[in-house]
Structure 1
Amino acid sequence: MANSKLWLREQVQLAFHLYCQIPFGKIDSRNKEIIELAKVIGRTSSAVAMKMLNIASLDPAITITGRVGLGNASALDREVWADFHEDWERLAVESQLLRQQLYKEIPTVFEDENCSLNTEDFTGEARQAITTQRIKQQFFRRAVLSGYRGRCCMSGLSESRLLIASHIVPWSLDKSNRLNPSNGLCLSAIHDRAFDKGLITLNDDFTIIISEQIKKRNDPFMDAIFLSLDGKKIECPDRFTPDVAMLDWHRNNLFLDNRQ
């Protein structure tokens, strides 16, 4: 992409795509991923970092804490922000494919060990479908885990191999929000499973609710893992605060205490 004074839509789109996937505290001109993106879109790394901080000024999860980014978001920045929120799947896949075209390298969507799969034995059409699926999964995982600073929002666990980008409303039930980071929580594998099975949920103020089914078991292991969390607030993300309407759906449709 040729350099010019005005940002092109594709450049802003790729800046937003990266903004979603690296921790807010690592938006810096010295960040390796920012440097690489700057090279392929014909911008300086400082300009890309500044653009990402301008985008941050549109994020309520950032501004509610008193952080304001740079506060110079353009009309195009706002347009790209709105477009992603309107169709996360299309923009995430489109942006990743554009990145791969610009980088002129083998797709890197299988680098995450949690999203790895050998596609050599599949037909071209099947391989493309699997690749697209992995692009989606990797985007959601990176967006959620980086937003929560790579820590389980309930237990504080920071071992990435044991962390899950957990959907609040399941992947299969809400296509429009499959890749929406506000439909995600960073959870340890055991807390993800408990959340998925309705043994734990969250209030609108992000306090943890433990099911009576856990409390009545009198299981030392379960008590140690879950009971100490009852009534405590999760560690909220730097970006993309959990959607309270989705939390309400989880409480009313999956939480076991409300299904009896």
Structure 2
Amino acid sequence: MDWTREELLVAINLYCRIPFGRIHVGNPEIIQLAEKLGRTPGSISYKLANFASLDPSLDRRGATNVSKLDREVWNEFFEDWDRMIYESERKTAELLGGKEAVEESTDIEWQEGETRETTVQARVNQAFFRKMVLSNYEEKCCITGLANPYLLVASHIVPWSRDSRNRLNPMNGLCLNALHDRAFDRGLITVNPNYEVMVSSQVNHDLFEKYEGRRLSLPQRFVPDPAFLEFHRNEIFVQ
């Protein structure tokens, strides 16, 4: 049975938010999606492997039986994060029967000139960016290794306000604990081209200095884009 565009969107959504090492038939989320789509877990995991073969952030490649529609939907998703994440979240919520991801809560506040839909989309997309980044780093701070999700932040390398096109690009994200996220945001730490921590001369504390020169724990996919890191070093970092 051929895959539809809507089914592929839901599958890409799942590909982005589960750890790469858990793309297998025993994953409960893959089993659940298979049941909802009327497919086997094997067919879902194989489709995710097809996406891996299209993923430029991976050094290795997955399956190669990629259809024309697979490629079209993948390119559409990765060229327009803002629109496609929201659409895929809505499709996933409809399919799985959960409304919390897109529920238009009455307590949402929005700024003058914005519509409720715009505000809801921004909230949904920000939540998905967090899911992608934390999942990508297996819910561990890439500097310290701290593994408490309540203390972890999906930190933007290029700030949200400085690059609208890559706000939701997972290669523009680092999983950091709240303290080091704050320091990164303020330019007190950065990352060199070898993915090693650099500490500003403005910081004089062991909580930061002991990580000077330590290499980040890098994910298997969506490795931070060197161009984004260069921007942070040049525009945000305080020497």
1:45 to 41, 45, 48: 41
The alignment covers a number of residue pairs equal to: 236
> What is the aligned partner in structure 2 of residue 234 from structure 1?
216
Matches within 5 A, 1:1-260: 4=1, 6-62=2-58, 64=59, 67-108=60-101, 119-121=105-107, 127-214=116-203, 217=204, 222-223=205-206, 225-257=207-239
Contact 1:147 1:240 in 2 (8 A): yes
TM-superposed deviation, 1:137: 1.2
The one-letter amino acid paired with 2:35 is: K
CA distance in 1 between counterparts of 2:102 and 2:215 reads: 33
CA distance in 1 between counterparts of 2:181 and 2:102 reads: 23
Structure 1: 4+ residue segments shifted above 6 A:
none
Aligned residue for 1:233, secondary structure, equals: coil
CA distance in 2 between counterparts of 1:207 and 1:36 reads: 39
CA distance in 1 between counterparts of 2:179 and 2:200 reads: 15
The one-letter amino acid paired with 1:16 is: I
CA distance in 2 between counterparts of 1:240 and 1:119 reads: 32
CA distance in 1 between counterparts of 2:68 and 2:154 reads: 31
Structure 1 unpaired stretches of 5+: 111-117
CA distance in 2 between counterparts of 1:17 and 1:172 reads: 25
TM-superposed deviation, 1:138: 1.3
Contact 1:27 1:49 in 2 (8 A): yes
CA distance in 1 between counterparts of 2:49 and 2:238 reads: 41
Change (3 A) 1:165 1:29: same
Aligned residue for 1:198, secondary structure, equals: coil
TM-superposed deviation, 1:28: 1.7
| CA deviation string 1:186-215 (max 9, x = no partner) | 00001100100000111122111111111x
CA distance in 1 between counterparts of 2:227 and 2:108 reads: 39
Greater displacement, 204-213 / 152-161: 204-213
Contact 2:187 2:238 in 1 (8 A): yes
Structure 2 unpaired stretches of 5+: none
| CA deviation string 1:55-92 (max 9, x = no partner) | 11222443x2xx43223333332222222221101110
Change (3 A) 1:105 1:161: closer
Query: What is the aligned-residue identity percentage?
Result: 47
Change (3 A) 1:57 1:126: same
CA distance in 2 between counterparts of 1:142 and 1:105 reads: 16
Greater displacement, 50-59 / 69-78: 69-78
Greater displacement, 34-43 / 120-129: 120-129
Aligned residue for 1:15, secondary structure, equals: helix
Contact 2:198 2:212 in 1 (8 A): yes
Aligned residue for 1:201, secondary structure, equals: strand
Contact 1:109 1:138 in 2 (8 A): no
Greater displacement, 70-79 / 132-141: 70-79
CA distance in 2 between counterparts of 1:58 and 1:49 reads: 15
